[in-house]
A and B are shown apart, each in its own frame.
Chain A
């Protein structure tokens, strides 16, 4: 062991006072934890690698195996129909990492340490969801490249494409808060993952993501058309390859507003629930 003497401790920390400084600490603590969560992503590159391998396999599967049998509206090629669905599916699956990350921090006792620190209470959840948002930016860039390689050709221009990407990120952010609740309820990270998939699976597959809505039985079509995941896919599809591609006769603006409305509703419901769960979890 060291022979150096331990410095006699005296408190060097500053006590937070006032609303403005509270906000400043919230932002600074969120930045600290976002950085920490992103560092963890770079330290386990395998995790990021495999989380992009899965969507790439979906692209190849639907593009080359199932795609030939699926007839899409508006005389579109299937790959142009598919890719907006894949983007939204990828970030939706990716938002499960919010639940896994939080469950892991709880399990390893890190949140215990955070609770005893004079940091902002909200920074743990904000830092986690922000890190997952940034991670999703990276994933969408990768998936765009993959799409272009397999023949995806957006037709509506750069601005429209960027608007679609922003909408996807906004949607993923709302889902992250939902999965934060799952992560804070799970006893460990493995269970958090297992609990998340039954929630995300029906949303992504009973949807407009892979097959035209017209091909589904009418009792299913209502849900498949207007559930949050589906309207976001339709909005992105309209923004990326034109509104005719949805085969619903609706305009781009209609889907974008539908999607934004869902996102706002999800955030209003999920954020207070997640914060409550964080506070009461012992």
Chain B
């Protein structure tokens, strides 16, 4: 197999009031025709990696290649091969859906007739034909994201970068978008996807790299990562801190994973959910402990992090959500949230 994206020891430090090491020696490789998930919390360096790979930002050191071309030395060529959509890549509010796609087509220097046809084709594929000639102001959050993705596909890129494509979307829109991405991959496109959601990475990506504080801390298939982690998390809520501490040692003894006591809540990763739950309940009953809450859930990114790094995905302070986000990007994030807040109404109007 051929390598489509190759990143080697990438470093990028943002200088400002406070130095932020957004990329601190990131390396990974993506096979052609696969989906590679870059998984990490806010501020881990995902977006910075995507911005370097899409020629938007220059790295301080290290190399990044797309289809064998260095993104700095061959930037103009790389730009003809890639598409970018997601969190920060945007569409023009004042134009219609069709005008947005045609603008991107023209800026890609496609022949005029191709631009017109391609816009029609993409609008149909993304279920936006009815809204084609309405300004984007009337679009719902999900429609905007679909158009954003369509815009990234206008020039039929060989490598597609999706930066948190579903962040801030409601579950239905998220599902719709996942289906679109899955079909795309079926067509042979190489995709690099960044996400904060393990569920998303699990569903879409064939290979994952977990990134934290500018470093890749784990790499593998979603299955192997989940296996390392344990398939499910058992969560027990108790009446008192004392009970929680006792429960912690009881669950520890059941093994093989260590339990984590957090206030009155005890968490432990288990390999066989139902079996482990029954064993845990019996053991607790034998000790005379009555749980207030008892849950089995899928492991979250938080659990992956906890097991890999020993620390939780911190809620980054709002001053520094993505390892050096500019004020513009912070506002963008806020704007997207506001937008999503209005989403149900907008969707209702469309129905």
Contact = CB atoms under 8 A, between A and B. Distances in A.
Interface of A: 1-2, 4-16, 25, 28-29, 32-33, 36, 39-40, 43-44, 106-110, 112-119, 123, 187-188, 282
A187 B94 contact: no
B206 to A, nearest CB: 18
Contact of A15 (B77, B91, B124, B331): B77
Nearest to B327: A187
Contact of A9 (B76, B77, B153, B176): B153
B114 A115 contact: no
Chain B: interface residue count, which band? 35 or more
A118 B156 CA distance: 13
B56 interface: yes
Given A187-B327, A188-B328, A116 B109 contact: no
A11 B80 contact: yes
A129 to B, nearest CB: 17
Interface in B161-205: 176, 179-180, 183-184, 186-189
Nearest to B48: A282
Given A6-B184, A108-B90, A109-B88, A12 B155 contact: yes
A108 B155 contact: no
A113 B163 CA distance: 12
B76 A118 contact: yes
Nearest to A35: B103
A282 B125 CA distance: 34
A210 B329 CA distance: 42
Given A6-B180, A39-B95, A113-B151, A106 B328 contact: yes
25 contacts: A5-B183, A5-B186, A5-B187, A6-B180, A9-B83, A9-B153, A10-B156, A10-B158, A11-B157, A16-B76, A29-B107, A33-B107, A36-B92, A107-B328, A107-B332, A108-B332, A108-B335, A109-B332, A115-B54, A115-B56, A116-B54, A116-B56, A118-B79, A119-B107, A187-B328
Contact of A112 (B88, B92, B107, B158): B88
Most A Cβ at <10 Å: residue of B83, B88, B92: B92
Interface in B120-164: 121, 124-127, 135, 151, 153, 155-158, 160
A39 B133 CA distance: 13
B125 to A, nearest CB: 5
Which 6 A-B residue pairings sit nearest by Cβ, starting from the closest?
A: A8-B187, A109-B90, A40-B94, A9-B156, A187-B327, A118-B79
B44 interface: no
Contact of A117 (B14, B90, B107, B335): B107
A110 B155 CA distance: 17
Given A9-B189, A12-B156, A39-B99, A1 B90 contact: no
B94 A116 contact: no
Contact of B82 (A33, A106, A116, A123): A116
A11 B81 contact: yes
Given A7-B156, A9-B189, A119-B109, 9 more contacts: A1-B180, A2-B127, A6-B125, A12-B155, A29-B106, A33-B107, A107-B331, A107-B332, A108-B335
Contacts of A39: 94-95, 99
Contact of B189 (A8, A107, A117, A119): A8
Contacts of A110: 90-92
B93 interface: yes
A45 to B, nearest CB: 11
Contacts of A188: 327-328, 331
A94 B200 CA distance: 47
B127 A1 contact: yes
B124 A4 contact: yes
A7 B157 contact: no
B279 interface: no
B327 to A, nearest CB: 4
Contacts of B108: 12-13, 117-119
A112 B104 CA distance: 13
B56 A112 contact: yes
A134 B188 CA distance: 45
Interface string B83-113: 1100011111111000100011011111000
Interface in B294-335: 326-329, 331-332, 335
B239 interface: no
Contacts of B57: 282
